Structure 1
Amino acid sequence: MRLAAPALAYFGLVFAIGFGLGAVRMFWLVPQVGALMAGVIELPVILFASWLVATWLVRHFALAPGRRALSVGALALALLLLAELALTRAMGGTVAAWLDGLARPEGLLGLAGQVVFALMPHLTARRSSAA
């Protein structure tokens, strides 16, 4: 089962988009509307981007719905969480602070979005195989 290439592609493309959106959220939206509302505004945008990337991924790597697509999403999610943690550490944060942030309402919203991100390759493959 070749998972690394599609998982890395999915993670990398969505992470790059999310990095840009995260900068907008942190420096512009959060001061204007607060952390939770900024997350509510950002979430549909990043999920739409995830859907677009997953649609390309399914076609490019011929992913069918099922275990392989779910595994690609799970590996991409693991990479995403590791990248978030690495960024937190690089900016002087601690693992405990990162975990505490995930337990806040805005963190839980983001985590729920990340679960949907992980499922997106499977859901997209399922949709394309039904069409």
Structure 2
Amino acid sequence: MVKALNAAAAYFCATFAAGFVLGTIRTLLVEPTTGALGAVALELPLMLAVSWIACGWALRRFDVESRFSPRLVMGVVALALLMGAELFVSVLLAGRSPGEHLALYQTAPALLGLAAQLAYAFFPLVRLR
């Protein structure tokens, strides 16, 4: 299980770093011309591709067993880290309250992002052989 936890942390770090860069580009450059939903829809395939590649790398790097439970742990822990970091950034950098952050999930762009985050959590299981 330690391998799955280490893989989850690495998977999270790789995708969060990419998401931070792409999210900044999305917010500053793309969103003003396409709107929030259009910008998220354009960013989403890139983030899913990055996530898929990072997942495969973490699985190989940490030699996570090809069994359901370690892969599930990896996905759930990576998702928890991602959601926690997203909340942290929203509160600290964007100045929102936790309640305001949660209220964002009532908007279409945030729901689209959440759907992608759920796919991200399932990638370790999908890559189960």
TM band (smaller chain): over 0.9
1:73 to 2:75 alignment = yes
Cα shift at 1:85: 0.6
**CA-CA distance at 1:57 after TM superposition:** 1.4
User: What SS does the corresponding residue of 1:62 show, helix, strand or coil?
Assistant: coil
Residue 102 of structure 1 corresponds to 105
8 Å contact kept, 2:19–2:47: yes
Corresponding residue number in structure 2 for 1:93: 96
2:56 aligned counterpart, secondary structure: helix
Q: Normalising by the residue count of structure 2, what TM-score does the alignment of the two structures yield?
A: 0.93
Deviation (angstroms), 1:17: 0.4
In structure 1, the residue matched to 2:84 is: 82
What amino acid is the match of 2:102? L
Contact 2:8–2:58 (Cα < 8 Å) also in 1: no
CA offset at residue 8 of structure 1? 0.7
Deviations 1:55-86 (A, max 9, x none): 11121222214111111111010000110111
Contact 1:73 1:119 in 2 (8 A): yes
TM-score by length of 1: 0.91
Q: What is the root-mean-square deviation in Å for CA atoms of aligned residues?
A: 1.0
Q: What is the total number of aligned residue pairs between the two structures? A: 126
Match of 1:114 in 2: 117
Counterparts of 1:48 and 1:15, CA distance in 2 = 13
**Runs (4+) of structure 1 moved beyond 4 Å?**
none
Any conservation in 1 of the 2:5–2:73 contact (CA below 8 Å)? no
Give unmatched runs, 5+ long, in structure 2: none
1:32-47 correspondence to structure 2 within 5 Å? 32-47=33-48
Residue of structure 2 equivalent to 1:57: 58
- Aligned equivalents of 1:69, 1:4: Cα separation in 2: 10
